[in-house]
Structure 1
Amino acid sequence: MERSRRLGDESGAPYATLSESELRAVTTILRENDAFDDDDRIAYVGLAEPDRRLVRSGSPSPRRARAHILTFSTGTARTVIVDLSTRAVVETTRIEPTETGQVPLLQEEHALIREILLADDRWTSALELRGIDDASTVALAALSAGRFPIPGEDGRRMARVLGHHQPTPQTMPWAHPIDGLVAFVDLTAREVTDVVDTGVVDIPQESADYHVPGTFGPERTTQKPIVIQQPEGPSFTFDGDTISWEKWSLRIGYDMREGLILHDVGFEDAGRIRPILHRASIAEMLVPYGDPGPVRFWQNYFDTGEYLLGRLVNSLEIGCDCVGDITYLDVPIADARGDVKILPNAVCIHEEDAGVLWKHTEQFTGTTDVRRQRRLVISFFVTVGNYDYGFYWYLYLDGKIEFEAKATGLVFTAAFDERTSRFASELAPGLAAPYHQHLFCARLDMAVDDDASVVDEIDVTRVPRDDDNLHGTAIGFTATRLRTEQESGRRADASVDRTWRVSARDTRNRFGRPVSYVLAPEGKPVLMAQPDSVIASRARFATRDLWVTEYDPEQRYPAGELVNQSAGEQGIPEFIADDASIDGADLVLWHTFGLTHFPRTEDWPIMPVDTCGFVLRPHDFFDRNPTLDVPASADSCGCAHQAHTHASPEHHLQHHTVHPSAERR
């Protein structure tokens, strides 16, 4: 079963995604106020979210949009704030690229780069030296340039371009990298500023055309159908953009930069919705490569801030991307000309079985109880060049929140030789895939019972021998309060099962303990580049697993507002510069997590999904297990409404003695 809805609540709710009509109004207002003409391009437009403190107090919050606008012919750019109620431009700020950075790359700039390179003799001559007489058979990867001390580049709007040979339209070009060659392109001057050619390298020739049936042999015929049915439909309902499922309530939002956003996430307990998160998103995604050679030293991509991954979303298909009873959300976004596009089936929502929720066979009562876990899945998939990424938010019956990123697609390729063997894996004859990382940063705007919060770092500990621990068997934990923003830059540590507990400052459960949610990290490596490297400076957020800041509505992105060709030490370094107290404040958690990828032969020619993520788990948030009211599944164990009894009462009475095996449980 498949259903479809349009995201964009016309109610004007404070955090509702800009609707199709509102996006059209933004363009109209810009033109009416002489803030947008035919030489201009909209690099980004999204909701200018109101201060949550004003919203919480009930104060009026104007409905506004924020746009980054590039004047195409001059390369100058500005940020414009539009008020949709008054139909006015309320703020215009010139963007200084040397001080901050450039607006994101435009999709039409990729076509421009092709025109520029085809007209450049240095580029076409370099291709001819490699046996490629027709430059149009080269697939171009036009990539963000980063910001390096290269003479003449400061302040220019740049891209760097690598090529892969594609002799026929059906050829998978990533199998045939044209190595030893990179072009530097000025997008405003429309010229190639440099062609770096380190010498001819043989182009790998083995096919990777997995998309052509039969390339790698016949398909297997052994799979039997798996059918997932919900004959009564899904258990969730919509009210505008707000979804209710089991005891969960939240508003779904979407942004062309961040993609999926969850607002006002809460859980019903004792007849009221208890807040957990004001806002949750994956605010940045960084892919730093580890090949330091002259052709690829600059390869470090901020897929969110430089490419706007939210606009690169896939249109999902039932039975392929999502299975079961599916509700899809269509998403409106504005293109560079200000026209509104509808991205169909951008967000997938469904529920699925998630194994055993809880289970026990009790010898004294002779009963067995088991309940099934299920989860609500809210997801979207994007394609950023060679890689594809899935973003999955899971909400569980027991109050747990989980995020999972799925990485698949094709690894970026190079030629394999003696030099690259130190920094890359050989996946096919002469074909290399450089080592790299996929690092994500979640922005978690916490609202544990809508109270001011504190954060404690929790480590498990061995308890020293003393009069209370004569045999040395005790275990315990330490709780270290994080008190200021600069103190909050923390590393995960699996050896002590380190977690971070976010507790309401003033709210207690029935035992007098603070109600809290715990962030459980996976604890994999953060950014591996040297601390004094350019990429570490531009992505300082990625050098720690956790940062905590006092809420500020202007602090939305961990690497700063303008990431393309950004100056260093923006974002998190600026946010924590005043070292504000986080001991009893409105708090935002910034959590970096991800994968360090040393490509395997199994990753070629297409990579099976690899995953990473984190969990937010209630800790003393509820007074008891919140799933005691979950009914048994009639079709799973034959015990629909009562525990299944294995022994008669007489048998139970005769054996009301602890069996030795029970003592060891």
Structure 2
Amino acid sequence: MSLLETPATGTSPSVSHPLDRLTAAEVDATRELLAPTLTPTTRFAYLGLLEPPKPAVLAFTPGDAVERTVRVLLLDTATGTGRDVRVSLSDGRIVSDREVDGAVEGHLPILEEEFGAIEPILNADDRWVSTLASRGLTPADVVTVPLSAGHYDDIPATDPGAARILRVFAFAQPDPSALPWAHPVDGIVAYVDLSAAKVLQVLDHQRFEVPQQSGNWDEAPHAQAERTDLKPISITQPEGPSFSVEGDVISWQGWKVRVGFDAREGLTLHQLSVADSTGPDPSVQRDVVYRASIAEMVVPYADPSPVRFWQNYFDTGEYLFGRFVNSLALGCDCLGEIHYFDAVLADETGHPKTVQNAICLHEEDHGVLWKHTDMFNGMNETRRSRRLVISFFTTIGNYDYGFYWYLYLDGTIELEAKATGVVFTAAYPEGGLEFSTEIAPGLAAPFHQHLFSARLDMAVDGTANAVEEVDAVRVPRGEGNPYGNAFARKATRLTSEAVAQREANGAVGRVWHVLSTERTNALGQPTGYALHPEHQPLLLADDTSVVHDRATFGTKHLWVTRYDSEERYPAGDFVNQNPGGAGLPQFVAGDRDLDGQDVVLWHTFGLTHFPRPEDWPVMPVDHAGFTLKPVGFFDRNPALGVPKGSSSASSCSAPAAAGDGCCGA
């Protein structure tokens, strides 16, 4: 690593906290500091805030000097060479600048500009043009879909590890309004060397008929009469929302959380804390999670055919799904009293671009919070729940993903991922396909998974934490259990990183408790939060497969590591064409002690998708996620103070009879 001492050309724009989101002025300042090192072919593959280490942030008090460091990944499109640069805006200098070894470490993320360069390269190649012509098509009849190439030995390049490669499918588009995903030109794939701007190979494996049925949702045969019997639902808060926002910090019902946004991870949450309504001083904020994000996701496909065996995408590391964030619309993506946050990103020339309404903040009713009708003392009480929603949507090619963080009145935290959009398609020949579903005449959707990795940097009542795996277990009939009805709870302390690589088990209701090793509740129990997984399948690819080596995070539902500020991404810093073994396998190699330490949870969750005809032509939302619930964190139910009728447009003022629908006497 070479250290460059570049004099400051200006000072860092004023910020009030180390985790404040980057401003447009800071993006400009970063580009100006880097200007002497840039060439006409240099592009900004990534620009983001390099957050200070956790101890420095926790020690920060208002009025302290704020250190601002930016990490930039620079790509020379002429050579494919990548640079990993760190720039201090506080000191006005380049702190470090090193070349990334693409063959060993992997390549920088794929640029939008590179996607746009594909068609001219292909259209100039005789093999591509003649392959299309053999199917009665010209380049003008198709759109190309460039995809990450992975790391396989079938790439016919002189040095496939060093070259930036994309693989390309074709889809017919009969007219500009047609949905190309309905018309795959299946059986062919092109390999393109981006840096050399040439086609390495066109594989013409098999001839399929191009499906002809329209995929436009509002055209025959899909078009349906618009429903006229859906009555309006009005979401109103006549006195305004219950949350408040100051800068990046949200306060709501005892919760405080700082919002961030990153081109790679998208929405990030920082310093989640909650006031303890059950403690001696309800105004005291107690830490729960220091930082939460979706740090990676992979979409591996199950079709082993020669044109598709390589098909898997790391939408976070290879494409940077945060940069494709949607601008949300009131009444469509969010309802009610909304507060929006804009996202400031850098374009590929290093200039700031602002996505308006990138993050949506609102409250919503969530049914019954707690309820009891008692036969002895006449109690008849119901309280309604509500939750605070912090969300964003991003579109990666054919899929759209929404990520919704929920905070609840009872101290629960939940993450819900919503997958929708258009399924990736192929041809479906007579006789069928073993690894696909026919979703329309002659049209297939291959089986695939969506596996997400949530990085949960925990801080349950401080940074001295431990993790226990808790199972429900049967107790054999015998002495102490003469009638065989007993069952128990088994807690196993995960004391090191080698031990803390775990799989969920729905048969025993497995959860993982993150416990404070320094604080107990009024009953003498350690305070904690429990991670509740959904018990869905892990990575289904074979243990010897390339995607297994590159997406090893997806082979366990839980990994626990000792905190290290440099360990941010479960599949490694440079995922594009990475040979494998990066990220979590490297992090846990030292088998660090975890008991009473500053711990980070990495939770794999997601969907295994066997597509249905109902998923075409546009897929209804499918859901995946996890929950963090307090366990011994509070001394009793923390939602006893929720007033009657708190989430309803009406409430009861008279004594209620059992079952009359009112919220309590």
Same fold (TM over 0.5): yes
Q: CA deviation at 1:211?
A: 4.4
Q: Which residue of 1 aligns with 2:603?
A: 591
Taking the aligned partners of 2:300 and 2:197, their CA distance within structure 1 comes to 27
- The CA deviation string for residues 99-153 of structure 1, in whole angstroms up to 9 with x for no partner, is 11010010011111111011111111111111113x1221111110100012422
Q: Does 1:126 align with 2:138?
A: no
Q: Is the 8 A contact 1:515 1:619 kept in 2?
A: yes
Which residue in the other structure is 1:493 paired with? Answer: 505
Residue in 2 aligned with 1:481?
493
Q: Deviations over 1:616-653 (max 9, x none)?
A: 00000001111111100178597657874669xxxxxx
2:7 maps to what in 1? none
Mapped partners of 1:475, 1:185: distance in 2? 60
Partner residue in 2 for 1:272: 284
Which of 605, 616, 631 is the equivalent residue of 1:604?
616
1:45 to 31, 37, 47: 47
Alignment check: 8 A CA contact 1:634 1:640 kept: no
Structure 2 counterpart of 1:257 = 264
Superposition pairs for residues 307-326 of structure 1, below 5 Å?
Answer: 307-326=319-338
Residue 198 of structure 2 is matched in structure 1 by 191
Same amino acid, percent of matched pairs = 51
For 1:38 and 1:444, the matched residues in 2 are separated by 40
Q: Answer yes or no: is 1:89 the counterpart of 2:91.
A: no
RMSD: 1.8
Secondary structure (helix, strand or coil) at the match of 2:333 reads coil
Structure 1 residues 305-454: aligned runs within 5 Å: 305-417=317-429, 421-454=433-466
Does the CA-based 8 Å contact 2:13-2:26 persist in structure 1?
no
**Of residues 243, 253, 265 in structure 2, which corresponds to 1:236?**
243
Q: State the SS of the aligned residue for 1:536.
A: helix
Tell me which residue corresponds to 1:180.
187
Pair 1:634–1:21, CA change in 2 (3 A): closer
Q: Deviations over 1:558-607 (max 9, x none)?
A: 00000011121000001001010111110000000000001001111111
Cα distance per residue 1:262-294 (max 9 Å; x no partner) = 000000112211000000000001100011111
Give the superposition deviation at 1:365. Answer: 1.8
1:12 to partner: Cα distance: 3.9
Classify 1:310/1:636 alpha carbon distance in 2 versus 1 (closer, same or farther; 3 Å). closer
CA deviation after TM superposition for structure 1 residue 367, in Å: 2.6
1:341-363 superposed Cα distances (whole Å, 9 cap, x missing partner): 11111111100000000000112
SS in 2 for 1:28: helix
Structure 1 contact 366–646 (Cα < 8 Å) conserved:
no
- Matched residue SS, 1:179: coil
Structure 2 vs 1, CA of residues 418 and 482 (structure 1 numbering), >3 Å: closer, same or farther? farther
User: What is the one-letter code of the residue matched to 1:614?
Assistant: F
Moved more, 113-122 or 411-420: 411-420
Contact 1:631–1:641 (CA<8 Å) still a contact in 2? no
Q: What secondary structure, in the 3-state scheme, does the structure 2 residue paired with 1:49 have? A: coil
Contact preservation (8 Å) 1:54, 1:61: no
1:524 matched residue in structure 2: 536
Distance 1:643 1:109 in 2: 68
Amino acid at match of 2:79: T
In 2 relative to 1, CA 64–137 (structure 1 residues): closer, same or farther, beyond 3 Å? same
When residues 137 and 423 of structure 1 are mapped into structure 2, their CA distance, relative to the original with a 3 A threshold, is same
Alignment-mate amino acid for residue 264 of structure 1: Q
Q: Report if the CA contact (8 A) 2:384-2:647 is conserved.
A: no
Specify which of 51, 74, 81 is matched with residue 76 of structure 1.
81
Q: Which amino acid aligns with 1:28?
A: E
Question: CA 1:85/1:642 → structure 2, altered by over 3 Å: closer, same or farther?
Answer: farther
Output the CA distance in 2 between the equivalents of 1:36 and 1:631.
Answer: 60
Aligned match of 2:59 in 43, 57, 66? 57
Deviations 1:386-423 (A, max 9, x none): 11111000000000000000011111000112686101
How much does 1:93 deviate? 1.5
> Following the alignment from structure 2 to structure 1, what is the Cα–Cα distance between the partners of residues 650 and 206?
71
- Show structure 2 runs of 5+ residues with no match: 1-11, 277-281, 660-665
Conserved? CA contact 2:218–2:224, under 8 Å: no
d(CA) in 2 for partners of 1:572, 1:261: 20
Structure 2 letter corresponding to 1:47:
L
Evaluate the alpha carbon distance shift between residue 260 and residue 418 of structure 1 in structure 2; reply closer, same or farther with a 3 A threshold: same
Contact 1:367 1:646 in 2 (8 A): no
1:71-119 deviation per Cα after TM superposition (whole angstroms, max 9, x unaligned) = 1111111100000111100011110001110100100111111110111
Match of 1:209 in 2: 216
Distance 1:246 1:281 in 2: 22
Cα distance in 2 for partners of 1:265, 1:410 equals 35
Give the corresponding residue for 2:107. Answer: 102
Specify every segment of 5 or more residues in structure 1 that has no aligned partner in the other structure, as ranges. Answer: 1-7, 648-665
- Distance change in 2, residues 1:142/1:473 (3 Å): same
Tell me the TM-score normalized by structure 2. 0.93
Q: Secondary structure, in 3 states, of the residue corresponding to 1:537?
A: helix
**How far has the Cα of 1:380 moved from its partner?**
0.5
SS at match of 1:421: coil
Query: Which of 217-226 and 586-595 deviates more?
Result: 217-226
Q: Which residue of 2 aligns with 1:26?
A: 30
- CA pair 219-52 structure 1, distance change in 2 beyond 3 A: same
Structure 1 residues 637, 126: closer, same or farther in 2, change over 3 A? closer
Counterpart of 1:82 in structure 2: which amino acid?
Answer: V
Query: 2:224 and 2:651 mapped to 1: Cα distance?
Result: 47
CA, structure 1 residues 61+328, in 2 after alignment: closer, same or farther (shift >3 Å)?
closer
Q: Distance between the aligned counterparts of 1:212 and 1:344, measured in 2?
A: 32
Cα contact 2:385–2:647 (8 A) shared by 1? no
Find the residue that maps to 1:125 and give its secondary structure: helix
Aligned residues: 637
CA distance in 1 between partners of 2:605 and 2:73 (Å): 28
CA distance in 2, matches of 1:30, 1:642: 69
Shift of 1:199: 3.1
Between 637-646 and 310-319, the greater mean CA deviation after superposition: 637-646
Following TM superposition, by how much is the alpha carbon of 1:473 offset from its aligned partner in structure 2, in angstroms? 1.3
Q: CA deviation at 1:481?
A: 0.6
Structure 1 residues 484 and 309, CA gap change in structure 2 (3 angstroms): same
Instruction: Name 1:455's counterpart in structure 2.
Output: 467
* SS of equivalent to 1:486: coil
Conserved 8 A contact 2:373-2:658 = no
C-alpha distance in structure 2 between counterparts of 1:74 and 1:641, whole Å:
74
Distance 2:321 2:226 in 1: 33
Which amino acid counterpart does residue 612 of structure 2 have in structure 1? Answer: R
Task: Find the aligned partners of 2:256 and 2:151 in 1 and give their Cα distance.
Answer: 43
After the TM superposition, list the runs of 4 or more consecutive aligned residues in structure 1 that deviate by more than 6 angstroms. none
- Which segment is superposed worse, 57-66 or 229-238? 57-66
Cα distance in 1, alignment partners of residues 619 and 583 from structure 2: 32
Change (3 A) 1:10 1:318: farther
Distance 1:642 1:311, change over 3 A: farther
Q: State the partner residue of 2:662.
A: none
Secondary structure of 1:216's aligned partner: coil
**Partner Cα distance (1:390, 1:198) in 2:** 36
Give 2:39's aligned amino acid.
D
